[in-house]
Amino acid sequence: MASEQENPLVQGLERLPVAPTTLTIFGATGDLAQRKLLPALYNLAHEGGLPERFFLVGVARGEKAHEDYRAECEQAIERFSRRAPDADVLRGLLEHVRYVPGTFDDEAVYGELARTLDEFEGQAGCELNRAFYLSTAPTFFPVIVEALGRQGLERHEGAEVRVIIEKPFGTSLQEARELNGRVLAVFEESQVFRIDHYLGKETVQNMMAFRFANGMFEPLWNRNYIDSVQITAAEDIGIGGRAGYYDQAGALRDLIQNHMLQLLCHVAMEPPVSFTAEEVRNEKVKVLHAISAPSAQDVAEMAVRAQYGPGHAGGEDVAGYLEEEGVREGSTTETYAALRLEVDNWRWAGVPFYLRAGKRLTRKITEIAVTLKPVPHLAFSQDGSLGVRPNQLILTLQPNEGVTLQLGAKIPGTRMMIRPVNMEFLYGTAFLSQSPEAYERLIMDAMRGDPTLFTRNDEVEAQWCICDPILKVWEEEPGPLAQYEAGSQGPAEAREILFEGHGWRAI
């Protein structure tokens, strides 16, 4: 039964083996590394999920000893891990942590890194796969990738080398293309893992199970039965301490270009032939290609942007965006964006996809609402009741992950009166397991070489093809931006992009 091709011992195991690996984090002292990456690595170690030989190298600017970096890692894990660390496991993890100081454009850093990686291999007595995690400002992505190439670190005899690149992958189509060009001049596409952490969320993966593991929805999932789709990512908080990043990005770049277009793809994609990375990503790219890039004239009709002004949240007065610390005076960065997109293919022609994302809205919610067409003939009187409404299927991603189906039901009594009722399913009530953090899943998948939950080069560029024209028009028309009160449903102007008879769902 044992063969060179298959490992007969993996059948029945929930956790598949991961080859011995050294993970190098560039930007190892940054916020993402401290809050997400290090806790994720600890949790993988705790659950026995890391490769059996695992080494970690942190690369960052500040000079510090290995011991000091290990102490920083320990503090970050103790503070941000989803579980209290086990002292023995934590000690075991930190034992194999090294720190390489220096700036990312300094060739000496890569020489030191190469020596460290070789030392680890000597220690392990076997070739180790190499994963480079770029958790830095985007301007350093090409700098690091090219330096890795010059040092010959993009290949390793007898082992796999992978590069994991954080978002944002460019801030425009041109930048994304340039970055892809520079990255792919050094690495093969199969070595590149572009992170969109939304794809690591169980909730997003559940959408595929919902659509493709249940026969009842697919017959309705087309223009004949679906009237419109609304995708909402609303946050009740402001920009917090992220003004430096957010004021350069805005809602369209921060959420819509990546996360929300991914959600749209999951709603609209055709069933893949198989759940292999290439098949799934091919289907998503087809959806993006079916969305026409808007012309400059179209933008005013299909896109709205706005900024939150002063208002109230949680019973407190809150400042408007322009009064937030770190925001440029007179900034025209949008904190709210709404789009109307159309997927021009056989399945979806004529069905509007409304997307909206914003900060300082009434509450935090991420949902996809699919509104079905109304019934063709109504035999019931609607007097004295809310009447018959089109069915809605709502997939809630957060905070309470679940599925709600709005149905018409008879109001008890002698008359035949109808009102909408909800049939609800909540994932939390039906599963015992706790969802792992998105980064735990994504780091594991990258180390294992499974790119299914990562964004491919053509996918990123197709996303930018949709958003770029909108951003260009907005940049040419600097303002003033429409305003909405903090803690509200968003700007009244958002209604202007809806087709007649449509309305935004209450947030």
Partner 1 sequence: MPAVSDAVWGAQGTTPEAIEAALRNLLKERHAENGGYVPARVLNLVAFVDGQWSGEVANRLRGVGRYHASRTIVLSYERGRERLDAHASIASEADPAPGELALLRETVVVEIGARHLDDLATIVDPLVVSDMPTLLWSPHGHPGAVDALLGLAQAVLVDSIDEPVWRDAVERAQKLSRRAYVVDLAWLRSMPWRERIASTFDPPRMRGELGKIEELSLRHHPDSTVAAVLLVGWLASRLGWRASPLVARGETLVGSAKGRRQNVAVRLESEPQQTVRGLAGLTLRTASGLELSLDRGPGGLRARRRERGGEEHEWTILGASRGEAGVLGEGIRQALLRDPTYVPALTAAHAMLP
Closest approach of partner 1 to the CB of residue 294, in Å? 35
Residue type at position 334: E
CB nearer partner 1, residue 101 or residue 358:
358
Structure token pair of residue 145: 């990738």
CB nearer partner 1, residue 6 or residue 279:
6
Beta strand segments in 174-275, E: 192-194, 226-234
Q: Which of 46, 96, 156, 259 is catalytic?
A: 259
Q: Is 191 left (phi over 0), alpha (psi -120 to 50) or beta?
A: alpha
CB nearer partner 1, residue 150 or residue 363:
363
H or E element that contains 203:
helix 202-212
CB nearer partner 1, residue 234 or residue 261:
234
The sign one gets for the Cα dihedral 319, 323, 324, 327 is: positive
Q: Is 490 left (phi over 0), alpha (psi -120 to 50) or beta?
A: left
Q: How many alpha carbons fall within 13 Å on the CB side of residue 419?
A: 9
Q: Is 456 exposed, middle or buried (0-12, 13-18, 19+ CB in 10 A)?
A: buried
CA angle 243, 247, 252 (to 5 degrees): 125
Closest approach of partner 1 to the CB of residue 404, in Å? 13
Closest approach of partner 1 to the CB of residue 39, in Å? 15
Closest approach of partner 1 to the CB of residue 56, in Å? 12
- 259 flagged as catalytic: yes
* Structure letter (DSSP) for residue 413: S
CB nearer partner 1, residue 8 or residue 501:
8
Closest approach of partner 1 to the CB of residue 156, in Å? 14
C-alpha–C-alpha distance, residues 288 and 284, integer Å: 7
Binding residues for partner 1 (CB under 8 A): 1-15, 17-19, 45-48, 50-54, 86, 88-89, 91-93, 124-125, 363, 399-400, 426, 428-434
CB nearer partner 1, residue 4 or residue 325:
4
* Structure letter (DSSP) for residue 153: T
Closest approach of partner 1 to the CB of residue 15, in Å? 6
Nearest to 309 by CA among 370, 273, 254, 360: 360
CB nearer partner 1, residue 339 or residue 444:
444
Three-state SS annotation for 434-491? CCCCHHHHHHHHHHHCCCCCCECHHHHHHHHHHHHHHHHHHHHCCCCCEEEECCECCC
Closest approach of partner 1 to the CB of residue 27, in Å? 24
C-alpha–C-alpha distance, residues 429 and 411, integer Å: 28
Annotated catalytic residues are 259
